[in-house]
Structure 1
Amino acid sequence: MPLSLLLITVGIALRQADRIHFARGCPSRGNAAALIALQRSRATNWTPALLLAGQWLQIAGWWLLAGHGPLAAAAAAGGVAVQFRHLQEISHFAVHGVLARTRWANQLLAEIFVHHPLGLVPVPERRRLHVRDHHPNAARPGVDPNLAELHQAGLRPGTSRARFARAVVYPLTWHGVRGTVAGIAASLRHSGSWHRAAAIVAVLGASYLTGGWPALLCGVLIPRLLLYPQLAWLSLINEHTWFDPEPRTGSPAWVEAGRCLRLYPHNRALAAFAATTWLPYGDLHHYAHSAHPAVRWNYLPALERHLHQPHFTPDGLLTGPRSVIAHHRRALALHTTARPGTSKPAHSV
């Protein structure tokens, strides 16, 4: 157990190199242009590499811990799921081209450390779906692939309470698990499938060699197939007022303020917990990211303080009348929203 804790500690320490490097000279608040100029002056390839290596070192620590009894195995499953979620969000900024200094480094780091070992689609395809298709069209029926995914899971107008509840935990259902497995299989059908398959086999083998069957089961399979997809799903649900966006024209910040939300704006403890677990690396500040996608996560808090708040600032995710889930449920029950493919895209956004 001491070795596992040491690996986790060293992994956390390695990750701080990137945070410290980009924190130098960061203002408490600032406009997007100034923050982008600052991050470009700080851009490097070595701190993102250390950041990603630190994440995997932490995962290795959890693998070692998994063999120390049922409680340790359960903790490892949760710990690795959180690290997988962190890796996904780091690669999200690589897709936007702001993780490393060059486009080549962004793609290479994302593929080697995230997309290959986790069985995700190639980075160019994710860039097309996310940057080209989602960002300009967030919450627009028939255009936004993320909204189509929510509809497909059962979050659509007229849905029953039971189906709505199942849709909130969709990745944990049989259909959700089957979709996760199908997504991994689809990633192996792309060009270079042999080294994508080899990367997945390497992760499975490394986990077994590090912590035996408990590490393989609780350190890879359960996190990758169940827990991490659920964390990512809750993050997706929390990004926008998907089913009742306020149509706006004007500046990017003004447009996004009408279709984004900001969770826990007045609760620092819950905000800190979310930022270190299921909403990491700037995902808690998704409104600021949507308004200015070229800003790295290090500077999103400063940017957010420069912007007006979005029109919906919920106090909770799952419970309470002002929670994200309650808001979505009311919107689906009371508002008529066209299903994907049945409405023409608006041209004013």
Structure 2
Amino acid sequence: MSSALCLVVAGLLLRQLDRLRHLRSPAKLTAAEAMALQRSRASVWAPTLLLVGEWTQIAGWWLLAGVHPAGAVVAAVAVAVHFRHLQEISHFAVHGVLARGRRANTVLAELFVHLPLALGPVGERRNRHVRDHHPNATLSGVDPNLVELRDAGLVPGAAQGTVTRAACHPLTVRGLRGTVTGTGRALARPAGAVAVVVVAAAAYLLGGWTGLVAGVLVPRLWLYPQLAWLSLLGEHTWFDPQRRTGSRAEVEAGRCLRLYPEGVVMSAVAAVTWLPYGDLHHYAHSAHPAVRWNYLPAVERGLAPPHCTPAALLIGPGSLLARHRRALARPEDVLAVPAPGAR
């Protein structure tokens, strides 16, 4: 167990080197100031060590999984969180702001995230996310993320029970089937298949069959997709956005939200689990997608708040899920064509 904990701590320390590289900055920044600052500090070595640190911690959890049944449960949850971290780190690589240079961003995302997690080509994700989603967020028939939500049953007129079940879509049989299908498509790439075999072999060598099942299969196919799904649900007011014109920030303020605006504890929990690496500040990211996560809080302080600031995600009348339920209860399609200039 001591070896496992040493790996977890070593990985945590490696991850801090990237944080320290970008640590010193004013409490409030304009987007232009943030981008100038991050360009001056951009490197390849710091994000590489960040990614190595994530995998070092994962290796520690694999080792722990083979020690005790309770360790396997902890490992499954912890590895799922790390997979979610890796997804979000690669998200900034897709935007070109993880490392210095477009090629370095692509290589790091492929080598450390997309290939070992069977997520598909980085180029396809870049087109889907940067080209298709960002300028068209919440637009029916255009935003690919909205298509995913609708496929899970989140459509106008949906019953409240359907909406509630959809919040746990990846945990359902249908959701699991979709995850397995998508993973299978990604494994069609020879490099992806090799990377997944390497990951599986490493988990088995460190934790045996328990390490493989609790440290790879359960988190990758079941728990991590659920964390990513919760993040997706909390990105926008998908079903009742306010169509606004004006600057990009003004447009995004009408279709984005800010979870836990006053909840210090919940913000901290979310930031280290299912909303890591700046995903808690998705509104600021949508307004200024070229800003690295380290500077999003400072940029957010200079933005007018979005129209939606729920204090909870799933539970309570003021939660975001309750808002989604109310919006979808209307039989008409509220995702109307936006006013000119809103895109």
Q: 1:39 & 1:68 partners in 2: Cα distance?
A: 42
Unpaired runs of 5+ residues, structure 2, are: none
Matched, 1:258 2:257: no
**Counterpart for residue 11 of structure 2:** 11
Q: Distance in 2 between matches of 1:134 and 1:142?
A: 11
Secondary structure of the structure 2 residue equivalent to 1:258: helix
Alignment gaps of 5+ in structure 1: none
Counterparts of 1:153-168 in structure 2 under 5 Å? 153-168=152-167
Alpha-carbon displacement from aligned partner over 1:34-76 (angstroms, at most 9, x marks no partner): 1100000101000000000000000000001112222111000
Deviation at 1:347, TM superposition (A): 5.0
Which whole-Å CA distance do the structure 2 matches of 1:197 and 1:32 have between them?
Answer: 40
Asked if the contact 1:141–1:338 (Cα under 8 Å) also holds between the matched residues in 2, the reply is no
Deviation at 1:345, TM superposition (A): 7.1
CA contact (8 A) 1:95 1:127 kept: yes
Matches within 5 A, 1:166-315: 166-189=165-188, 193-315=189-311
1:116 counterpart residue number: 115
Q: Distance in 2 between matches of 1:139 and 1:175?
A: 24
Distance (whole Å) between structure 1 residues aligned to residue 210 and residue 48 of structure 2: 28
Residue 185 of structure 1, CA deviation: 1.3
CA distance in 1, matches of 2:114, 2:328: 34
Is 1:82 the counterpart of 2:91 in the alignment? no
The CA deviation at 1:30 is: 0.9
Stretch deviating more after TM superposition (156-165 or 266-275): 156-165
Correspondence 1:336-347 to 2 at 5 A: 336-337=332-333
Maintained 8 Å contact 1:142/1:345 = no
Residue 27 of structure 1 is matched in structure 2 by 26
SS of equivalent to 2:301? helix
C-alpha contact 1:244 1:335 (8 A) present in aligned 2: no
The CA deviation at 1:344 is 6.0
Aligned 8 A contact 1:141 1:345 in 2: no
Question: Match for 2:12: what amino acid?
Answer: I
Per-residue CA deviation, residues 10-31 of structure 1 (Å, 9 max, x unaligned), is: 000000000000113x110011
TM-score (norm 1): 0.96
Counting aligned pairs with the same residue, the percent is 62
Q: Check the 8 A contact 2:65/2:72 in 1, yes or no.
A: yes
Contact (CA 8 Å) 2:80, 2:223: kept in 1 or not? yes
TM-fit CA distance, 1:179: 0.5
Shift of 1:194: 1.3
Higher mean C-alpha displacement, 291-300 vs 163-172? 163-172
Q: CA deviation at 1:96?
A: 0.2
Tell me the residue number matched to 1:101: 100
Query: Is 1:70 aligned to residue 69 of structure 2?
Result: yes
Task: Measure the CA separation in 2 of the matches of 1:335 and 1:55.
Answer: 45
| Amino acid across the alignment from 2:129 | H
Deviations 1:153-179 (A, max 9, x none): 001111122222221111011111111
Which residue identity does 1:237 align to in structure 2? L
The alpha carbon displacement at 1:188 in A equals 2.8
Alignment partner, residue 127 of structure 1: 126
Contact 2:253 2:305 in 1 (8 A): yes
**C-alpha distance in 2, partners of 1:184/1:77?**
18
2: distance between equivalents of 1:265 and 1:10? 33
C-alpha separation in 1, matches of 2:23 and 2:290? 17
Deviations 1:261-285 (A, max 9, x none): 1001101111001000000000000
Residue identity opposite 2:78 in structure 1: G
Count the aligned residue pairs. 342
For 2:257 and 2:332, the matched residues in 1 are separated by: 20
Supply the AA of the counterpart residue of 2:241.
P
Say if 2:75 and 2:215, in contact at 8 Å, map to a contact too. Answer: yes
For residue 117 of structure 1, give the secondary structure of its aligned residue in structure 2.
coil
* TM-score (normalizing by structure 2): 0.98
Q: Equivalents in 1 of 2:294, 2:244: separation in Å?
A: 28
Distance in structure 2 (CA, Å) of the matches to 1:267 and 1:164: 25
SS in structure 1 of the partner of residue 305 of structure 2? coil
Distance 1:158 1:274, change over 3 A: same
Runs of 4 or more off by more than 4 Å in structure 1?
A: 343-347
1:50 maps to 49
Structure 1 distance, partners of 2:318, 2:249, is 23
1:79 and 1:282 map into 2 onto residues whose CA distance is 19
**Is contact 1:261–1:313 with CA below 8 Å preserved after alignment?**
yes
Distance 1:302 1:335, change over 3 A: farther
